[in-house]
Structure formats: C-alpha cells, structure tokens
Amino acid sequence: MLSLKCMKKVLLITATVFLLFFPLNSASLRACSLAIHDWQLVFFAKLPISAPLFPLAEFNLLQANFKELPASKILWKSGHSWLGHFLSGFVNAMPDWPAKAKWILTDENKSVISMARNLAKRGSPPVIIGSEQNFLKIAFFTDANSGNNCHQLVLMTNSRLRGIHADSDKPWAQEANTMAWTSLIFYQLPIPGRIMSLSVFPYQSTRISLFEDHNFVEDLMARKLLTRRPDLEIDPFVFDFPELPE
C-alpha cells in the first residue's frame, strides 16, 4: 500500500504536469464515454486530511454564488501543509474570476464567523472560505469488459465548507458539504501513450476533461480490447465510476 507521503507526491506531479500543459477550459468533452466499462472496485481507502490540496470545491462554491469578484482577497482557512501552499499557486492558472483574487492560506485557530467579525471592523473584508472535516478517498477500479486491462484511479476529497463575506451592503454566508475528485483512466499502465483520460469535478458545477486520447481509445476498440458503447448510451455528464463507499 502506498504511504500518504507517496500519494501526496503523486498528486503533486499530476497536478503540476496537467495544469501546466492542459489548462482548464469551459468545453466539457466526452472523457472515456466512447467505451462502455464494467468497473470493479479492487482497492479503497479513506483517510482524514488536514486540508484539500486544491480548492476545486471552494472555487465552485464561489462561482455558484457570485458572478464577479466580491473582494480583492480570499482567505482560505484550513489545516494547510507545505504541499497545499505550493499547489495553491496553480489557482492563478484557472480562467475564472476567483483566480483574480489574492488567495491567502491560513490555519488560524478561530471560527470563520469570528474571523469575519474581526476583519469587518477593519473595512474591505475579504471572502473567507473554511474547509473542515476533510477526507481523501482513494479508489482503484478495473474494467471487466476489457479483461481487467483498463483501470481507473479516483482521488476524491469530501469537505465541509463554510463561506462568509461580511460586506455591509451585501453580506453572504453559506455552509455546504462538498465533493471534488480527479479521475485517471489508463490501459494497463499509467504511463504516457496509455493514458485515456484525465477528468476533474467540479468545474462550473460539472465534470471537465483535462486530457483525452480519442485515437488511442478508438484503436483499442478496433482491436476489440475495449467494448464500444452504443451510440444512444453516450452521456458525457454521467459519473464514470460507481459510487464510492462511505
């Protein structure tokens, strides 16, 4: 079993490579919907973590509530590690308005309400996002339809988010249970040339593909190594893996 330290290194490398070479865009693609899979769960682990590594769910919460930048600073409160501070730098690679704000990571031992009250007294309060009760779910699936040669690795974070903007004119507060995930689908080995797709959720409240290799998938189906999905069953918005255990 991989240690948490090793898994963090994998997350770091994956995020670095794909955010540099496959920046997010608003065009949601078909992911691996060309093939029909029979995913079988072969490994699952649920680990408590101090903070999400990347604020996908936090971004989504802000986008769902504001159409433009409500403050020049976003204070993200959680138990951030050095890795979280490093990965938060990729926030600026996002194309949407939350990336225009200055994200400040803090692990201040106060409630978001207390922080909002104190900052409101100073004027021009930032938006405060608190990520709590964070868990990392790691799931590995194999596809029975491909003779167990096609695999999927899912990394999912579940968090309790609290958002507050103590604006005197338009105050805002919200609390929500959130989920964010990354899905890597590959054939036999997760190496260049065998990766079929990399998807993330949520981006503007939906799934989006960062990378897809349609030619590779078509070649595997032509060689009858993957099962082609009937045209009427293609739906790019469905979850491409079974529901994970609690």
- 216 in any annotated domain: yes
Is 217 within 8 Å of 194 (Cβ atoms)? no
Cis bond before residue 202 (omega within 30° of 0) = yes
Supply the range of the domain harboring residue 63.
30-228
List Cα–Cα distances, 225 to 145, 205, 220, in angstroms: 9, 33, 5
Q: Is 163 helix (H, G, I), strand (E, B) or coil?
A: strand
- 73 in any annotated domain: yes
**What pLDDT, on a 0 to 100 scale, did the predictor assign at position 32?**
55
Per-10-residue mean pLDDT for the chain, 246 residues long? 47 45 42 77 96 90 89 91 80 82 88 86 86 95 95 96 90 94 94 91 87 90 88 57 87
* Residues whose CB falls within 8 Å of the CB of residue 141, separated by 6 or more in sequence, listed in order: 39, 40, 41, 42, 151, 152, 153, 154, 241, 242
Put residue 124 in one of left, alpha, beta given phi > 0 → left and psi -120 to 50 → alpha: left
- 2 in any annotated domain: no
Number of structural domains (the chain) is 1
Token pair belonging to 106: 């803090």
**What pLDDT, on a 0 to 100 scale, did the predictor assign at position 140?**
97
What is the chain's alpha carbon radius of gyration, rounded to the nearest angstrom?
A: 19
Is 52 within 8 Å of 156 (Cβ atoms)? no
- 14 in any annotated domain: no
Token pair belonging to 75: 């204070």
- 132 in any annotated domain: yes
DSSP one-letter code for 139: E
Burial of 193 (0-12, 13-18, 19+ CB in 10 A): exposed
Whole-model pTM over 0.75: yes
Is 49 within 8 Å of 132 (Cβ atoms)? no
- 199 in any annotated domain: yes
**What pLDDT, on a 0 to 100 scale, did the predictor assign at position 28?**
36
**What pLDDT, on a 0 to 100 scale, did the predictor assign at position 233?**
54
Q: How many helices (H) and strands (E) does the chain have?
A: 5, 8
How far apart (Å, rounded) are the C-alpha atoms in residues 35 and 99?
A: 35
